[in-house]
Amino acid sequence: MTWWTDDTPLPDPHGKGARAVKFIELLKLHEGKLAGQRFKLAKWQRRIVQRIYGDTGEDGRRKVRTVFILLPRGNGKTTLCSGLGLLHLVGPEKEAAGQVIVAASDREQASIAYNAAAGMIAQERELKTRTKVLPSYKTIQHAGSRSVMRAISHEAYTKHGMSISCLIADEVHAWPKREMWDVLRGSMGKREEPLTIVITTAGSGSKGLAWELYEYAKKVADGSVIDETFLPIIFEADKDADWLDEDVWRAVNPAVASGFRRIEEMRESARQAAEIPAQREAFKRYYLNMWSDGAPDPWLDMEVYDRGADPIDEEALLGQPCWLGVDLSSTQDLTAVVAAFRNEEGGYILLPHFFCPADNLAKRQERDQIPYQRWAAEGYLTATPGNVVDYAFVEEAIAEMATKYLIQELAIDPAMSAGIVPRLQDMGLNVVHFRQGWISMTPAVKETERALLAGKVQHGGHPVLRWNFGNAVIDTGPMGDTARFSKAKSAEKIDGAVAAAMAIARAQSSDTGPSIFESDWIDEIAFA
């Protein structure tokens, strides 16, 4: 039991907690089967609101200045955020010229709570007459107090001069950088009672803003740090909890008992997660708030990946057809070339080649704690001279591969390859443009996943390739039927995984026929 689920008395000497609850429960829900009905707060929601606003000092000022709520998806956080935002825009917590900011990683996410607030206003004549909703600007104005509520994103926050009174920071685990947080929090200094409400699902890794807030919240919660201005509210399963135990689900998802989350939907997701590693990690994170130690939404269980670590007989591959995937990335970053060969079992054999600027190896190793220098010394990584990848080395490696194997196709993203493609074509290579969007990458990701789960990918345990696959994160489309790699969400490099999937996709879809290479120009490459 916790204070938000038990019946222990909550401080409210000035009645501000009860006042906040009363205002929010006057609002009407804007969507779902309860649309049009008053917002009846569940017990845990009501006690959270009472605790935030009721704990006041002798002067009547609120003690809590930062609230950290770690809440799994599907537990009504959007509706609660909307109610809290309106509490500060038009309710008893409004200030003269107040600024209520709903901030998220992108405009679409930031708009969700704003749209819900606008939907609540649209159902109340009194609120409609006192406010002006500007959908194109994602802004709501309250004429009486000159207050505004605005949705902003990482792309747009620098455009606004702000003096924020209430900041609702949504899904901070997805914020790509902390600059927005620093700017927004820095704008609150002139307010007498600024309030920041962080409401998010669990994140991943032990770096970044979300992890810092989570770690601090845990310390305040367990009493190792005393800070009465910071209120931690953490719904999470223990690391060693049985993620298939429905009692664990119910303990972490209060909306199940409150009646607005279906346990049947969780059961269906759990059945799928039991079979698919990526969905299993997503289930743990988004349904149970189990913080991920590695990549966010890790695509693969590395125990599954490691089934293909048996040594590769490279001599046996000489003269065999293969398909190349090339991920050039940035000239200052990791570049990957992966050859995929078909085997007799209907699977694939992967031979990877990696390139990185030599001048950056020591700095990268120190910064990222990744053994770039050792990999280069052991031949797993080619360090090209200078501080950018010299594509001449990449081209030379591909030309050498053409003398050993029957390269059927070379798949490459046209976005970063304009300079190198003509030279590859001059070699006689069949270059195929392979974009990184949903249409191209979905079959590549799904075939690679299928082959890995079936134990039909042999990679020889190449350490750089394994590191890349371990970092790999995928975005899924809104219907769950599309997938692509997300470099933005991946904590570290995934270039090798991207190149491997491209090569596998072309190997799966292509017919093995005579070599596209003519002996005369192969001889030219071989003996030039």
Identify residue 102 by its one-letter amino acid code.
Answer: V
Residue 298 lies in a domain: no
pLDDT band at 175 (very low <50, low <70, confident <90, very high): confident
Mean pLDDT of 387-401: 92
Q: Which residue has the higher pLDDT, 281 or 342?
A: 342
Provide the domain count of the chain. 3
pLDDT at 32: 78
Q: What is the CATH number of the domain that holds 328?
A: 3.30.420.240
Average pLDDT in the 458-484 region?
A: 85
What is the H or E stretch that residue 389 is in? none
Cα(22)–Cα(87) distance, rounded to whole angstroms? 10
Predicted confidence at residue 398, as pLDDT, reads: 96
Q: Is the pLDDT reported for residue 331 higher than 50?
A: yes
Residue 156 has pLDDT above 90, yes or no: no
Distance CA 83, CA 120 (A): 9
Q: Residue 185's pLDDT is what?
A: 93
Highest mean predicted confidence (pLDDT) among 106-115, 403-412, 507-516: 403-412
Same domain, 267 and 124: no
Beta-strand ranges (E) seen in 331-460 are 335-342, 348-357, 382-384, 406-412, 431-433, 457-458
Q: Is the pLDDT of residue 179 over 60?
A: yes
Instruction: Say what the pTM is.
Output: 0.62
Q: How confident is the model at residue 44 (pLDDT cuts 50, 70, 90)?
A: very high
Q: CA 120, CA 78: separation in Å to the nearest integer?
A: 12
Is the domain of 217 the same as that of 284? no
Tell me the average pLDDT across 25-30.
92
255 and 157 in a single domain? The answer is no
Are residues 276 and 383 located together in one domain of the fold?
no
Q: Answer with the one of 233, 259, 281 that is the final residue of a domain.
A: 233
In a shared domain, residues 158 and 191:
yes
Q: Decide if 30 is inside a domain.
A: no
Do 475 and 505 reside in the same domain of the chain? Answer: yes
Asked if residue 426 lies in contact with residue 410, where contact means CB atoms within 8 angstroms, the answer is no
Q: Do residues 185 and 167 lie in contact, with contact meaning Cβ atoms separated by under 8 Å?
A: yes
- Sign of the dihedral through C-alpha 436, 440, 446, 449: negative
For residue 15, is it within any domain? no
Bridge partners (DSSP) of residue 231 are: 67
Enter the tokens of residue 233: 């509210």
Q: Give pLDDT tens digits for 119-147.
A: 999 999 999 999 999 998 999 999 999 99
Lowest mean pLDDT, pick from 210-224, 311-325, 465-479: 465-479
Domain co-membership, 286 together with 308? no
281 and 336 fall within a common domain:
no
| 19 lies in some domain | no
pLDDT greater than 70 at residue 207: no
Residue 11 domain flag: no
Last residue of a domain, one of 212, 233, 254: 233
Is residue 47 in a domain? no
174 and 261, same structural domain? Answer: no
Reported confidence tier of residue 515, pLDDT bands at 50, 70, 90: very low
Of 96-100, 166-170, 369-373, 376-380, the least confident: 369-373
DSSP three-state, residue 384: strand
Residue 383 has pLDDT above 80, yes or no: yes
Query: How many other C-beta atoms lie within 10 A of the C-beta of residue 432?
Result: 18
User: Which percentage of the chain shows pLDDT scores above 90?
Assistant: 65
Q: What pLDDT band is residue 528 in, cutting at 50, 70 and 90?
A: very low
Question: Domain for residue 85, yes or no?
Answer: yes
User: Looking at 315-319, 385-389, 504-508, which range is the least confident one?
Assistant: 385-389
> Is the pLDDT at 240 greater than 90, yes or no?
no
What is the residue-averaged pLDDT of the chain? Answer: 88
Stretch 352-363: mean pLDDT: 89
Amino acid (1-letter code) at residue 20: A
Between residues 353 and 276, which one has the greater pLDDT?
353
Average pLDDT over residues 366-394: 88
Angle (nearest 5°) at CA 280 between 4 and 325: 135
In a domain, 25, yes or no: no
Answer yes or no: do 73 and 198 share one domain: yes
Range name among 86-90, 176-180, 501-505 with the lowest pLDDT average: 176-180
Kindly tell me if the per-residue pLDDT of 96 is higher than 90. yes
The verdict on 448 and 309 lying in the same domain is yes
- pLDDT above 60 (res 512): no
524 pLDDT above the threshold of 50 = no
Of 312-321, 475-484, 512-521, which gets the smallest average pLDDT? 512-521
DSSP 8-state class, residue 4: T
* Kind plus residue range of the DSSP H or E element containing 297: none
Task: Domain of residue 128: give its range.
Answer: 64-233
Examine the domain organization and report whether 380 and 271 are in the same domain.
no
pLDDT digits (tens, 9 = 90+) for 278-319: 678 788 988 999 987 555 556 787 888 999 999 999 999 999
CATH number for the domain spanning 145: value is 3.40.50.300
User: Does residue 113 carry a pLDDT above 80?
Assistant: yes
